[in-house]
Amino acid sequence: MRPSAIIADDEPALREYLFKLLNENWPDLNIIHQANNGVEALKSIIKHQPEIAFLDINMPGLSGLEVAEQCKGECHIVFITAYDQYAIEAFENEAIDYLLKPVNRERLLETRKRIEARLENRPQNLSQLLSHFPDQKRELKWLKVVHQKEVILINVDDVDYFRSSDKYTSAYIKGKEHILRSSLKKLESQLDPNQFWRIHRSTLVKVTAIESITKTLSGQLMINIGKHKLPVSRAYQGLFKQD
pLDDT band at 5 (very low <50, low <70, confident <90, very high): very high
161 by DSSP, 3-state: which? Answer: strand
Do 128 and 147 lie in one domain? The reply is no
For residue 237, the model assigns a pLDDT of: 86
Asked if residue 124 and residue 27 are part of one domain, the reply reads yes
Tell me, yes or no, whether 149 and 57 share the same domain: no
Cα torsion at 135, 79, 91, 133 (round to 10°)?
Answer: 10
Same domain, 126 and 226: no
d(CA 148, CA 201): 28
Could you tell me if residue 166 is inside a domain? yes
Q: What is the pLDDT of residue 138?
A: 57
pLDDT tens sequence across 100-144: 888 999 999 999 999 999 898 888 767 666 666 655 555 678 888
Count other C-beta atoms under 10 Å from residue 156's C-beta: 19
Distance from chain centroid for Cα 64: 10
Task: Assess if residue 54 is contained within a domain.
Answer: yes
Residues 6+ apart with CB under 8 A from 227: 175
pLDDT at residue 96 tops 70: yes
Coil vs helix vs strand at 51: coil
CATH assignment of the domain containing 189: 2.40.50.1020
Same-domain pairing of 160 and 116: no
Strands (E), 9-135: 30-35, 52-56, 76-81, 97-100
The CATH code of the domain that includes 87 is 3.40.50.2300
Regarding whether 104 and 79 lie in a shared domain, the answer is yes
As a whole number, mean pLDDT of residues 8-31 equals 94
DSSP 227: T
User: Do both 194 and 225 map to the same domain?
Assistant: yes
Mean pLDDT across 177-199: 88
Chosen domain end from 68, 98, 132:
132
Cα 97 to Cα 204: distance, rounded to the nearest angstrom: 38
Total count of residues recorded for the chain: 243
- Return the ∠ at Cα 39 (arms to 190 and 87), rounded to 5°: 70
DSSP 193-221: TTTEEEEETTEEEEGGG--EEEE-TT--E
User: Which tens digits make up the pLDDT trace of 74-85?
Assistant: 899 999 988 667
Looking at the predicted structure, is the pLDDT value of residue 186 above 70? yes
Cβ proximity of 199 and 205 under 8 Å:
yes
Is residue 137 assigned to a domain? no
* Pair (69, 39) in one structural domain: yes
pLDDT at 95 over 90: no
* Average pLDDT over all residues of the chain: 87
Determine the Cα–Cα distance for residues 228 and 209; give it in Å rounded to an integer. Answer: 11
Overall domain count for the chain = 2
Looking at the fold, whether 97 and 180 belong to one and the same domain comes out as no
Q: Tell me: the pLDDT tens digits for 207-243?
A: 999 999 999 998 899 999 999 999 999 888 888 876 5
Per-residue model confidence (pLDDT) at position 131: 63
Look at residues 80, 103, 132 and tell me which one is the last residue of a structural domain.
Answer: 132
Domain range for 149? 142-240
Percent over 90 (pLDDT), the chain: 48
Are 196 and 223 members of one domain? Answer: yes
Distance CA 219, CA 136 (A): 43
Which pLDDT does position 185 carry in this prediction?
A: 87
Give the pLDDT of residue 33: 97
Domain stop point among 103, 132, 161: 132
pLDDT on residue 34: 97
